[in-house]
Amino acid sequence: MSVQTADHPAIAVRAASGVIHPAWVRVTHWINALAMLMMIGSGWQIYDASPLFGFTFPHQIALGNWLAGALLWHFAAMWLLVINGIVYVTLGIVSGRFRRKLFPIYPREVLHDLLAALRGHLSHDDLSMYNAVQKLLYLGILVTGVVIVLSGLSIWKPVQFHLLTSFFGGYNTARYVHFAAMTAIVAFLVVHVLLAVLVPKTLRAMILGR
């Protein structure tokens, strides 16, 4: 993976311009943030109609007022989430950004960087380079995004996509998978937002690009 060396032309250009996140990353990031909040909020309201566990989400933090309203939100925001997601993943692959930013990931580095992060010793000098923990989390959230969309499809269309539904262990199990993926995304979101607040220049980079 020689692409990580500084004398790679693409890196050189980026370093010269100082752009950390190109415009397409920033635009798709914030559209995704909006779509995710709508999907999670309405999803909580939908969950409350037939809870999987012994708790419900407070209506004050859920979206849509009642089941029909929440379903309207969920199945409207899904288009935003999926179309934006397809654009993001396509550009991420085609531009080489995913390969450049997320790979390779070595377990030893993950462990090292995780311990360093917990001690507060991790450097944030170069925001264009992800540490191993970031690489793993960003890759993980991409995979979770795919899981939540596919498990959602298998709940929405358990007849038309019955093979997909079977893949997730049937209709009932797919509901738990969908919920687990939501939980993982919310957990990621908590850490993600907390770290952005702790290192505010990362937030600036995602808005202004540098």
**Quick check: 66 binds another protein (CB under 8 A)?**
yes
Q: Nearest approach, Cβ of 142 to another protein (angstroms)?
A: 25
**Quick check: 69 binds another protein (CB under 8 A)?**
yes
DSSP labels, 110-132: HHHHHHHHHTT----S-TTS--H
Q: Nearest approach, Cβ of 86 to another protein (angstroms)?
A: 16
Q: Classify each residue of 25-36 as buried b or exposed e, where b means 16 or more C-beta atoms within 10 Å of its C-beta.
A: bbebeebbeebb
Is 147:188 a contact under the CB 8 Å cutoff?
no
Q: Of 4-12, 126-134, 154-162, 196-204, which part binds another protein (CB under 8 A)?
A: 154-162
Considering beta carbons, is residue 44 or 130 the nearer one to another protein?
Answer: 44
| Among positions 3, 13, 34, 37, the unique one binding another protein when judged by CB under 8 A | 37
Kindly give the interhelix angle for 132-156 and 107-118, rounded to the nearest 10 degrees: 100
| Among positions 76, 115, 143, 194, the unique one binding another protein when judged by CB under 8 A | 76
Number of residues that bind another protein (CB under 8 A): 32
Place of tokens 């809870």: 51
Secondary structure of 82-104 as H, E, C letters: HHHHHHHHHHHHHCCHHHHHHCC
Residue 153, number of CB atoms within 10 A of its CB = 19
**Quick check: 39 binds another protein (CB under 8 A)?**
no
**Quick check: 72 binds another protein (CB under 8 A)?**
yes
Tell how many helices (H) and how many strands (E) occur in the chain: 9, 0
Q: Nearest approach, Cβ of 100 to another protein (angstroms)?
A: 35
CA 188 vs CA 162, 182, 183, 195, 206: distances in Å? 30, 10, 9, 11, 17
**Quick check: 43 binds another protein (CB under 8 A)?**
no
**Quick check: 41 binds another protein (CB under 8 A)?**
yes
Rounded to whole angstroms, how far apart are CA atoms 8 and 89?
Answer: 23
**Quick check: 171 binds another protein (CB under 8 A)?**
yes
| Among positions 158, 199, 202, 209, the unique one binding another protein when judged by CB under 8 A | 158
| Among positions 175, 181, 185, 205, the unique one binding another protein when judged by CB under 8 A | 175
Q: Can you give the binding site for another protein, defined by CB under 8 A?
A: 37, 41, 46-47, 49-50, 59-69, 71-73, 75-76, 79, 157-160, 162, 166, 171-172, 175
